[in-house]
């Protein structure tokens, strides 16, 4: 996981990257977000892409992201180490 830039204002576009290469055949990526003070929630499920831009949608604070791979049978890898962004005014 990588988030760039690591810090920015409310209108900043952050690039969240969860993979360096497409998933192996039969696999997809699931990506979760943890907003400031919240719990892990689905952000992108079943995707083949490697990254997505993000704008803070719940105000200032720290947002965390993590990813895993999943196959059609529902078997998953462990969650990746997280990446964080800090959103300021």
Which pLDDT value is given to residue 47?
Answer: 98
Show the domains of the chain with their CATH numbers.
2-88 (2.60.40.10)
State how far the Cα of 54 lies from the Cα of 34, in Å rounded to an integer. 13
pLDDT at 36 over 90: no
Determine the 3-state secondary structure of 34 from DSSP. strand
- Asked if 88 and 26 touch (Cβ cutoff 8 Å), the reply is no
pLDDT digits (tens, 9 = 90+) for 38-80: 999 999 999 999 999 999 999 999 999 999 999 999 999 999 9
Question: Across residues 16-37, what is the average pLDDT?
Answer: 97
Q: What is the pTM of this model?
A: 0.95
Task: List alpha helices for the chain, DSSP H.
Answer: none
| Distance between start and end Cα atoms, the chain | 24
- Percent of the chain with pLDDT strictly greater than 70: 100
Once rounded to an integer, what is the mean pLDDT over residues 22-51? 97
């Amino acid at each position: 996981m990588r988030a760039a830039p690591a810090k920015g204002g409310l209108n900043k576009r952050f690039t969240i990257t969860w993979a360096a290469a497409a998933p192996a055949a039969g696999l997809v990526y699931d990506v979760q977000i943890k907003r400031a003070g919240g719990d892990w929630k689905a952000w992108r499920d079943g995707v083949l892409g490697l990254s997505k831009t993000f704008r803070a949608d719940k105000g200032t604070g720290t947002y965390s992201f993590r990813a895993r791979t999943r196959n059609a049978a529902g078997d998953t890898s462990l969650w990746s180490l997280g990446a964080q962004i800090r959103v300021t005014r």
